[in-house]
Amino acid sequence: MTINGGVPMFHVGDKVAYPMHGAGVIEAIEEKEVLGKKREYYIMRLPLGDMRVMIPIHSEEQVGLRQIIDDAGVCRILEILKGESTKMSTNWNRRYRANMEKIKSGNIFAVAEVVRNLSMREKEKGLSTGERKMLESSKQILISEIILARNLKESDAAALVDSVLDQHAVQAQGAVG
Residuewise pLDDT in 10s, the chain (177 residues): 444 455 678 999 999 999 989 999 999 999 998 889 899 999 999 988 878 999 988 887 788 899 999 999 999 999 999 998 888 778 788 999 999 999 999 999 999 999 999 999 998 888 989 999 999 999 999 999 999 999 999 999 999 999 999 886 666 665 544
Same domain, 103 and 53: no
Same domain, 96 and 29: no
Residue 138 makes CB contacts below 8 A (sequence gap 6+) with: 99, 103, 111, 114, 115, 118
Total domains in the chain come to 2
- CATH code (residue 53): 2.40.10.170
Same domain, 140 and 108: yes
Same domain, 76 and 56: no
- CATH code (residue 117): 1.20.58.1290
Same domain, 125 and 167: yes
Same domain, 132 and 56: no
CA distances from 125 to 2, 10, 74, 120, 122 (A): 46, 43, 28, 9, 6
155: domain range?
71-176
Same domain, 80 and 158: yes
Same domain, 116 and 53: no
Strand partners, 32: 39
d(CA 95, CA 87): 10
In a domain, 82, yes or no: yes
Give the start-end residues of each E strand in 57-101: 66-67
